[in-house]
Structure 1
Amino acid sequence: MMNLQRRLFAEWLGTAFLLAVVVGSGIMAERLSGGNVAVALLANAIATGGGLIALILTFGGISGAHFNPAVTLAATIRGELSHQDAGLYVVVQIIGAFCGVAAAHGMFSEPLFFASQHIRTGPAQWWSEFIATFGLLAVIFGCSRSRPEAVPFAVACYIVAAYWFTASTSFANPAVTLARAASGTFAGIRPIDAPGFILAQLAGAIAATWVFGWLLHDKAALSLDLMANAGEDRTAAPLKD
């Protein structure tokens, strides 16, 4: 039970920091870019990538550093996380995401929560989120199989790239999507647009889990554990109690 509590706390704290990075860097980028949206997006992407590396390395050995219900869903489909634990992971991830948004807003003297007016909807945006989430899970699956120690860097590089090659700027995370709907800043999304993103993200996660389950074939070798040390004692791993 204590191990589960530590894992849940790590997921809450890590997700909170992730959103603080995403939203806080978006606010800073918008304020300093002089209205140049490309520069603001570049700064936001680089900060997010750097934050991801640090956070996955920090929390990977405790909880697996999911910070993302889509990753948790994939772990559950794989049988690497119980349904009960998965539900708790998702709850603390969502709570952590909103805490991170509030923390970022507080640092920049913004209201703790205010609904975004940033329009992000339509088939191109939904398809982008499917692709972004599929690719994220693909990177996790593939690197966990061949180079587990490289997962934090591979995930960060993919997200930085996906900020630019997707029309949606790659949310790829239902908890992030919900929390960013409560941020009327550069990183926000209208609350009415969030459900379409989330459905596309979950579909992308399920598709990637199926495809890479077949592609890599060896189910025992596939692990969603993002620990930097591949030889770490599996009794401490986040995907099994």
Structure 2
Amino acid sequence: MSDNERIVLVTGGSGGIGRRVAARLAADGMTVVVHYAGNPAPAEEVAKQIIADGGTAGTAQADVTDPQQVQDLFDTVERQFGGVDVVVNTAGVMILSPLTEMSVDDFDTMHRINVRGAFLLSQQAARRLRTGGALINFASTVRKLALPTYTAYAASKAAVEALTPILAKELRGRDITVNAVAPGPTATPFFLDGKPQEVIDNLAEAAPLERLGEPDDTAEVVAFLAGPARWVNGQTIFVNGGVI
């Protein structure tokens, strides 16, 4: 199947990395459905820009923690575009706190979205992706960096990293790849908000390339996994400039 026949669902597609992933896959000729959880305006902005640039895009809403809404999300994409070939699961939240100070509510919120959401989306993707499809989950380099205050977030992303290669094996014979990307420190509001400049500078200097990642750095890897990378399967690709 050529890229211009592939239908892509990008969850969290209006976020810092998600919107660049959506734009990159559309530029590669894929039809992109930009998912949003609540506010439709940012997702519609991404879709409109893709269309203005000559691509094909739409939007769809769902709470990724709700099984029925996730099923309905895939139903909507199939009804509008005929099927689903690629799912890119960028939806997630990050709440930082030392373990001893984190509230159970914050822990549960993060794991509901990051782990339960990834599970439900992976489950539907495994059931619904067409032959030649690809599922791309999002893990995180912080699982290796082991930075203070990231305990619960890193644990949620470690769960995503764990389910990815097992699901790849469970889909034996389907010609569907299952991989994860694990961005390092990336210049998005998701990462930058609330951090002192000194912390940001130190993280930028940690990579041998001496800069923070950009959303396009991750989008480039996602585009590879979504299209030509048919012999990469069950892997977590660390996209972090060599920080670890």
TM-score over 0.5 for the pair: no
Alignment TM-score, normalising by the size of structure 2: 0.28
Q: How high is the TM-score relative to the length of structure 1?
A: 0.28
More relative contact order in 1 or in 2 (CA 8 Å, sep 6+)? 1
More strand by share: 2
> Which structure has greater helix proportion?
1
